[in-house]
């Protein structure tokens, strides 16, 4: 089992502190928490009263006191009603606090994860955080629910213990044990008996049940692997179908499922052993307190039936509370794992932030045009992709970036977009003028076709205009589907997706357009048509493209050739003649 040491509690505090200490919800959260504790104390008090009630009621029965017995029934009704109201309200407030805390944490984690492209940098740096989406969607839910339930459960057990240990102690004074002709009273006799019974029982339960923690943990992992392998098939269904890989996939799935199956059998056998013990222990718990108090009943008649009942009740409360503390080891282990995963996720985001701040030394400033000055672009290992790059691009100019595969063209575009964290130098762009970057694989968000076209700025454009744009990019067939919500990235071919991306440009009309092989899946005539369209529709915009085809040259006035070793050459495109405004800096 993991250790509950200072480091764990520090991590727990670090995750919890922003909500309970700094958030705008802190006062209402503290108020609800206080209310839960008050309700809890109230419930312990009612349980205490009910336990006393047992003695009075059963003694009335023993005396055949009808009126007193009916009177006690009325009292029970009141006590039970109060208990039910408190229990239902407590659950309500715990769940309310849980979901509100989760909502706050989810926003907080999402903000950090999405801020300054952290999600992208975590992937670029391969920081080892698996499934950040799972951390946010599942671990935060487990965290809030387990933290509240464990803390409130522990507080409740401690108050129950305090109240009933006191009662049992008092009751112990009434029990005298005959031994070799004399009667003895052991102070706290019942308390010690309950303590020994509960500790012995729960330690044995823990020993028998402990392997279940690991088995359950493994079961979740095997199930996740099984699910993930099928998800991969869903994502790559076309490729697998084309390869005819069904058989291989089937074997693979069944292999994964065999692990789920085998492990589940281990869980069944272990649970059976545990159930033998737990059932026996549970039954014994009914008579054990009676056995320990029976001598007092029979020998010196110090306690009536009511006393016996009260002892049994108090005993089971003490035993239940002690057992909760000892037996929560399995939920504690899960809780520890969740806290560890969230802390690791937070640490990764922090580390990425530090790396970004220390490595990203590209100064971004306001400039009359796109100005690249003394720009060095590097890989995470420090290797230089582009060395000392200098050029200007004015509005109405078009620059094509070419070079060998792996030469750093896309990375240069990432640097211009401000998302690549490794490099230094200066990049200027006019403030308030909007750049738009199109990657090679267009991103089509979930939603209607209209949502896809106005992504990411959500421009307010008439349907008619959107339809006209779709026709302009030769996507007439979709012109009437603006309200259709489909998985567009699966339905459309890559070429069609790239056409949609061009349509997006015509919708958004950016002043600065960056295209990273954004037309690579189109045939040459279609590519030429779309470029022509861009030039005509956005005469005032500058276009910076990355591409391999020499046919692209005709749409640009300048060409920047990256050599792959840091070197670069900037040249005017011959057929267009030299253009003003684009100035390679002196080497």
Query: Which residue in the set 35, 79, 85, 124 belongs to the binding site for ligand ATP (CB under 6 A)?
Result: 124
Q: Closer to ligand ATP at the Cβ: 513 or 560? A: 560
Q: Return the CA Rg of the chain.
A: 36
By 3-state DSSP, what share of the chain in percent is helix, strand and coil, each rounded to 5?
Answer: 65, 10, 20
Alpha-helix residue ranges (DSSP H) falling in 457-584 = 463-472, 488-491, 494-508, 524-537
Cross-strand pairs, 514: 437, 544
Binding segment (CB under 6 A) for ligand ATP, from list 113-121, 404-412, 427-435, 454-462: 404-412
Residue 562 or 582: which CB sits closer to ligand ATP? 562
234 vs 37: CA distance, rounded Å:
48
Q: Which three-class secondary structure state does DSSP give residue 545?
A: strand
Minimal distance in Å, beta carbon 282 to ligand ATP?
A: 57
* Count of Cβ atoms closer than 10 Å to residue 236 Cβ: 14
Neighbours of 19 (CB within 10 A): 19
Nearest to 207 by CA among 154, 273, 268, 263: 273
Please state, as a whole number, how many other Cβ atoms lie within 10 Å of the Cβ of residue 313: 21
Q: Which is nearer to ligand ATP, 99 or 379 (CB)?
A: 379
- 378/362 Cα distance (integer angstroms): 11
Shortest reach from residue 517's CB to ligand ATP, in Å: 6
Alpha carbons 543 and 531: distance in angstroms, whole number: 10
Q: Which residues from 380-399 bind ligand ATP, rule CB under 6 A? A: 380, 385
Q: Which residues partner with 558 through β-bridges?
A: 399, 572
Task: Indicate the residue among 52 and 410 with the shorter CB distance to ligand ATP.
Answer: 410
* CB of 358 or CB of 460, closer to ligand ATP: 358
Q: Which two tokens stand for residue 362?
A: 């590209």
Nearer to ligand ATP, 201 or 407 (CB): 407
Q: What's the min distance (Å) between Cβ of 389 and ligand ATP?
A: 14
Number of C-beta neighbours around residue 203 at 10 A: 12
Point out which span in 23-31, 42-50, 235-243, 407-415 binds ligand ATP (CB under 6 A): 407-415
Nearer to ligand ATP, 378 or 499 (CB): 378
CB of 344 to ligand ATP, least distance (A): 21
Pairing of strands 558-562, 568-572: antiparallel
The C-alpha angle with vertex 69 and arms to 64 and 70, in degrees rounded to 5, equals 130
* Of 246 and 571, CB closest to ligand ATP: 571
Given the rule CB under 6 A, which of 188-196, 238-246, 401-409, 474-482 is the region that contacts ligand ATP? 401-409
**Residue 417: Cβ within 10 Å count:** 16
For ligand ATP, which residue of 411, 498, 545, 557 counts as binding (CB under 6 A)? 411
Cβ of residue 407: shortest distance to ligand ATP, in angstroms?
4
Interaction of residue 405 with ligand ATP, rule CB under 6 A:
yes
Instruction: Please report whether residue 408 would count as binding ligand ATP according to CB under 6 A.
Output: yes
Evaluate whether 571 touches 559 at the Cβ level (below 8 Å): yes
Residue with smaller CB distance to ligand ATP, 317 or 415: 415
Least distance between ligand ATP and beta carbon 412 (Å) = 7
Shortest distance (Å) from residue 569 CB to ligand ATP: 15
Q: Please write down the long-range contacts of 352-357, taking CB distance under 8 Å and 24 or more positions apart.
A: 352/118, 352/121, 352/122, 352/125, 352/127, 353/116, 353/118, 355/121, 355/125, 355/421, 356/116, 356/118, 356/121, 356/421
Query: What is the C-alpha separation between 559 and 562, in angstroms, rounded?
Result: 10
565 binds ligand ATP (CB under 6 A): no
Site string for ligand ATP, 350-379 (x = CB under 6 A): -----------------------------x
**In the complex, what is the shortest distance from the CB of residue 382 to ligand ATP, in angstroms, rounded to a whole number?**
11
Nearer to ligand ATP by C-beta: 18 or 380?
Answer: 380
* Residue range at the interface with ligand ATP (CB under 6 A); choices 155-163, 319-327, 409-417, 553-561: 409-417
Q: How far is the CB of 215 from ligand ATP (least distance, A)?
A: 38
- Helix crossing, 524-537 with 494-508: angle to 10°? 10
Closest CB to ligand ATP among 86 and 413?
Answer: 413
Does 409 interact with ligand ATP (rule: CB under 6 A)?
A: yes
Nearest Cα to Cα of residue 471 among 447, 448, 453, 446: 453
The least CB distance from residue 516 to ligand ATP, in Å, is 7
**Dist. CA 317–CA 583, nearest whole Å:** 84
What is the C-alpha to C-alpha distance for residues 362 and 530, in angstroms, rounded to an integer? 33
- Residue 494 sits in the site that holds ligand ATP (CB under 6 A): no
> Which segment (40-48, 245-253, 390-398, 400-408) binds ligand ATP by CB under 6 A?
400-408
CA dist 559 and 570 (Å) reads: 6
Q: Which is nearer to ligand ATP, 354 or 379 (CB)?
A: 379
Query: Is 563 one of the binding residues for ligand ATP (CB under 6 A)?
Result: no
| Strand partners of residue 513 | 436, 543
Asked if residue 407 binds ligand ATP (CB under 6 A), the reply is: yes
CB of 116 vs ligand ATP, minimal distance in Å: 17
Pairing relationship of beta strands 435-438 and 512-516 according to DSSP bridges: parallel
Residue 418 CB, shortest distance to ligand ATP, in Å, is: 15
Handedness of CA 472, 478, 484, 487 (dihedral sign): negative
Pick from 280, 282, 406, 458 the residue near ligand ATP by CB under 6 A: 406
Of 409 and 555, which CB lies nearer to ligand ATP in the complex structure?
Answer: 409
Query: If binding is defined by CB under 6 A, does position 550 make contact with ligand ATP?
Result: no
Q: Is 421 in the site for ligand ATP (CB under 6 A)?
A: no
* Interaction site with ligand ATP (CB under 6 A): 124, 379-380, 385, 403, 405-411
């Amino acid at each position: 089992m993991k250790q509950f040491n200072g480091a764990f509690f520090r991590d727990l505090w670090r995750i919890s502190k922003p909500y309970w200490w700094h958030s705008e919800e802190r006062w209402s959260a503290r108020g609800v928490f206080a209310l839960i504790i008050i309700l809890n104390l109230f419930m312990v008090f009612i349980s205490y009263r009910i336990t006393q009630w047992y003695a009075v009621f059963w003694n009335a029965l023993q005396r055949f006191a009808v009126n007193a017995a009916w009177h006690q029934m009325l009292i029970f009704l009141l006590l039970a009603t109060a208990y039910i109201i408190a229990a239902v309200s407590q659950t309500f407030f715990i769940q309310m606090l849980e979901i509100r805390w989760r909502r706050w944490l989810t926003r907080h984690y999402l903000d950090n994860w999405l801020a300054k492209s952290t999600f992208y940098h975590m992937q670029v740096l391969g920081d080892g955080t698996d499934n950040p989406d799972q951390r946010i969607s599942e671990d935060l839910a487990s965290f809030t629910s387990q933290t509240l339930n464990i803390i409130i459960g522990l507080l409740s057990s401690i108050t129950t213990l305090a109240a009933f240990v006191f009662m049992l102690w008092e009751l112990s004074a009434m029990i005298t044990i005959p031994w070799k002709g004399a009667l003895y009273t052991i102070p706290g006799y019942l308390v010690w008996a309950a303590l020994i019974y509960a500790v012995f029982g729960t330690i044995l339960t823990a020993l028998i049940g402990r392997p279940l923690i690991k088995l359950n943990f493994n079961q979740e992992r095997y199930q996740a692997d099984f699910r993930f392998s099928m998800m991969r098939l869903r994502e790559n269904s076309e490729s697998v179908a084309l390869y005819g890989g069904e058989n291989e996939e089937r074997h693979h799935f069944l292999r994964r499922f065999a692990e789920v199956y085998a492990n589940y059998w281990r869980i069944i056998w272990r649970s059976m052993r545990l159930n033998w013990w737990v059932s026996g222990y549970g039954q014994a718990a009914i008579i054990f307190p009676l056995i320990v108090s029976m001598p007092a009943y029979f020998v010196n008649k110090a306690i009536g039936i009511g006393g016996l009942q009260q002892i049994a009740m108090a005993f089971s409360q003490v035993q239940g509370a002690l057992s909760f503390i000892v037996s929560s080891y399995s939920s504690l282990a899960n809780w520890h794992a969740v806290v560890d995963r969230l802390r690791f996720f937070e640490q990764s985001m922090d580390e990425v932030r530090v790396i970004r701040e220390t490595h990203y030394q590209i100064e971004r400033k306001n400039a009359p045009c796109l100005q690249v000055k003394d720009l060095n672009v590097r890989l995470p290992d420090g290797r230089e992709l582009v060395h000392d790059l200098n050029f200007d691009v004015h509005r109405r100019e078009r620059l094509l970036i070419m070079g060998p595969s792996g030469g750093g063209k896309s990375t240069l575009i990432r640097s211009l977009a401000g998302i690549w964290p490794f490099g230094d130098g200066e990049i200027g762009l006019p403030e308030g003028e909007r750049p738009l970057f199109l990657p090679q694989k267009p991103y089509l968000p979930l939603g209607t076709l209209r949502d896809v076209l106005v992504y990411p700025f959500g421009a307010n454009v008439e349907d008619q205009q959107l339809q006209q744009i779709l026709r302009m990019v030769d996507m007439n067939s979709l012109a009437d589907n603006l309200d259709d919500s489909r998985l567009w990235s699966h339905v459309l071919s890559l070429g069609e997706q790239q056409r949609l991306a061009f349509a997006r440009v015509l919708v958004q009309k950016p002043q600065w357009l960056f295209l990273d092989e954004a037309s690579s899946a189109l045939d040459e005539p279609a590519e030429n048509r779309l470029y022509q369209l861009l030039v005509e529709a956005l005469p005032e915009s500058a276009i910076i493209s990355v591409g391999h085809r020499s046919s692209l040259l005709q749409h640009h006035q300048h060409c920047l050739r990256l050599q792959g070793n840091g070197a670069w050459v900037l040249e005017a495109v011959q057929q267009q003649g030299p253009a003003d405004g684009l100035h390679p800096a002196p080497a």
